[in-house]
Amino acid sequence: MNRRRRPSGFTLLELLVVLVLAGISVAVVGGGAQAFMERARYHQTVRDVASRLGQARALCVQQGRHVTVAYDPQARQLLVQEQPPLPIPPNLDVKWQPLPPGPRASGGPGEPVFVFNPDGGARGGQFAVLRGGQGVGFRVSWLLGTVEQVAVDASL
């Protein structure tokens, strides 16, 4: 009863094939993961901007005073009074039209984009976050102060 035992384990050729296949799949999935992360950052930034504008509106109604929302293009930050600045990722484009200079449009760093009034109204320019030439634009209703989101392209 002398049986020959086969050696157990993998051959070098089998290990090399597995490593090559793993490398190919990482290369294919890695590129897709990068695109997914950029898309996710864009969507999160749009949600954050909408949230900050809603907070600014609520803050002015609660405290009974004007709240200015400004954009600082050098720092790439959206600034709301008494709130931490919201950084805009460098891979996203920002288009904005600031408010014309006025008595309530100043008072801090950056260029004022929106001013929310304590009576519920608002006035403002335009602000858009773009990715690949298309994106979401934000504007405020002058009567109700509500924040509206609209699809925009790079021409704004």
Question: What whole-number distance in Å separates Cα of residue 92 and Cα of residue 76?
Answer: 10
Question: What whole-number distance in Å separates Cα of residue 121 and Cα of residue 145?
Answer: 4
Say which CATH topology domain 12-153 has.
Answer: minor pseudopilin epsh fold (3.55.40)
Terminal CA-CA length for the chain: 86
Contact 116, 64 (CB under 8 A): no
Higher pLDDT residue, 121 or 103?
Answer: 121
pLDDT band at 1 (very low <50, low <70, confident <90, very high): low
Higher pLDDT residue, 38 or 103?
Answer: 38
Token readout for 94 is 């920002």
Contact 96, 111 (CB under 8 A): yes
pLDDT at 4: 73
- Chain-wide mean pLDDT for the chain? 89
Is the confidence at residue 105, as pLDDT, over 60? no
Q: For the chain, what are the domain ranges?
A: 12-153
Question: What whole-number distance in Å separates Cα of residue 76 and Cα of residue 89?
Answer: 8
For the stretch 120-156, pLDDT in tens is 899 988 999 999 999 999 999 989 899 999 999 877 6
SS3 106: coil
Kindly state the percentage of the chain with pLDDT values over 70. Answer: 93
pLDDT band at 104 (very low <50, low <70, confident <90, very high): low
Higher pLDDT residue, 91 or 30?
Answer: 91
pLDDT at 10: 86
pLDDT at 22: 92
Is the confidence at residue 107, as pLDDT, over 60? no
- The C-alpha angle 140, 75, 100, rounded to 5 degrees, equals 40
Region 14-30: mean pLDDT is 89
This prediction has a pTM of 0.79
Beta bridge partners of residue 137, listed in sequence order? 128, 150
